[in-house]
């Protein structure tokens, strides 16, 4: 076998012959992820979940329907299950604190997300044809070991995320039934579209998941007859969605925060929701 060809990459962090703005994408992604983290901490621990007079800041009511912030959905503290609704919890505990480990774990171990944070935060690799920090060369990529071994839990986070997804759609149904103030029946408000769009984007993100594709049919040696053929078809369909997995990652993430801002603005009285139609 011949020796590998040594590519003429310039040595030194960030040095390259590339003339395009190779740094702009990782930088934008790094800013986006950092902003998401800061917003989440601010919302969960600093801003609070109630107004001064005890009103909710995680959801609002509109003619008997309920619109819930995506960050605080599912609102497990209202569930009968395990007596959570009667739990005399500390003031700082809220529904998001109890549940967010699932979306965090799911997104944090996502194959696409790994690519993003390896490049953005570890500069490993910095970019195609761009030199990486000396420390990376010294340590080298050792695969999914040590702390990164938890990335292998992605499949299990997928199962949990699927349950969350079903509850998200369940929450959407709570926005379409109006029972008060002379408006009775089923319809939609702006909140319905906000929650519906959030649930839709999350559905696309989950159904384009690499691990789901593997489960659907990728784990089989061949797709020949019966169930295996059907699984092969499913594999093909998920593969099509999978091509845009990065797009669904970002749009679903951004909409969690836009949805929360919408609910917060209405709950605080800065904006108001309205019934768009009902029957």
- Interface residues toward ligand FES, by CB under 6 A: 110-112, 154, 209-211, 245
- The minimum distance between CB 110 and ligand FES, in angstroms, equals 3
Question: Minimum Å distance from CB 212 to ligand FES?
Answer: 7
> Among residues 67 and 199, whose Cβ is nearest to ligand FES?
199
Choice between 56 and 203, CB closer to ligand FES: 203
Nearer to ligand FES, 95 or 238 (CB): 238
Buried b (16+ CB within 10 A) or exposed e, 26-53: beebeeebeeeeebbeebbeeeebeeee
**Running DSSP on this structure, what letter comes out for residue 50?**
B
On the CB side of 46, CA atoms within 13 Å amount to: 6
Question: How many whole angstroms separate alpha carbon 114 and alpha carbon 107?
Answer: 9
Which residue blocks in 208-225 are alpha helix, DSSP H?
210-213
CB of 32 to ligand FES, least distance (A): 16
Q: How far is the CB of 211 from ligand FES (least distance, A)?
A: 5
Determine the 3-state secondary structure of 149 from DSSP: helix
Which residues touch 253 (CB under 8 Å, ≥6 apart)? 32, 36, 107
Q: How far is the CB of 223 from ligand FES (least distance, A)?
A: 21
Smallest gap from residue 109 Cβ to ligand FES (A): 8
Tokens coding 36: 């998401």
Nearer Cβ to ligand FES, position 130 or 158? Answer: 158
Nearest residue (CB) to ligand FES, 112 versus 257: 112
What is the C-alpha to C-alpha distance for residues 204 and 207, in angstroms, rounded to an integer? 5
If the CB atoms of residues 111 and 247 are measured against ligand FES, the closer one turns out to be 111
C-alpha–C-alpha distance, residues 196 and 4, integer Å: 52
Q: Can you say how many angstroms the Cα of residue 233 is from the centroid of all Cα atoms in its chain?
A: 26
């Amino acid at each position: 076998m011949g020796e590998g060809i040594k590519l003429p990459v310039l040595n030194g962090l960030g040095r390259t012959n590339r003339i395009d703005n190779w740094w702009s994408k990782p930088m934008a992604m790094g800013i986006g992820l950092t902003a998401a983290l800061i917003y989440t901490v601010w919302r969960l621990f600093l801003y609070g979940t109630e107004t001064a007079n005890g009103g909710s800041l995680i959801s609002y009511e509109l003619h008997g329907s309920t619109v819930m912030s995506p960050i605080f959905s599912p609102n497990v503290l209202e569930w009968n299950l395990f007596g959570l609704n009667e739990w005399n919890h500390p003031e700082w505990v809220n529904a998001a604190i109890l549940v967010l480990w699932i979306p965090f774990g799911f997104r944090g171990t996502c194959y696409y997300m790994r690519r993003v944070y390896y490049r953005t935060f570890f500069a490993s690799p910095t970019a195609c044809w761009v030199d990486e920090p000396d420390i990376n060369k010294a340590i080298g990529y050792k695969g999914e070991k040590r702390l990164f071994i938890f990335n292998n839990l992605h499949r299990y986070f997928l199962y949990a995320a699927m349950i969350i997804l079903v509850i998200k759609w369940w929450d959407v149904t709570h926005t379409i039934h109006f029972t008060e103030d002379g408006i009775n029946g089923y319809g939609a408000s702006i909140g319905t579209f906000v929650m519906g769009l959030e649930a839709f984007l999350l559905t696309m993100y989950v159904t384009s998941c690499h691990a789901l594709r593997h489960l659907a049919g990728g784990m089989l040696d061949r797709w020949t007859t019966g169930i295996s053929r059907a699984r092969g078809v499913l594999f093909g369909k998920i593969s099509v969605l999978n091509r845009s997995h990065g797009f669904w990652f970002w749009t679903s993430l951004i909409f969690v925060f836009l949805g929360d801002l919408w609910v917060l603005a209405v709950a605080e009285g800065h904006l108001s929701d309205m019934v768009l139609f009902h029957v």
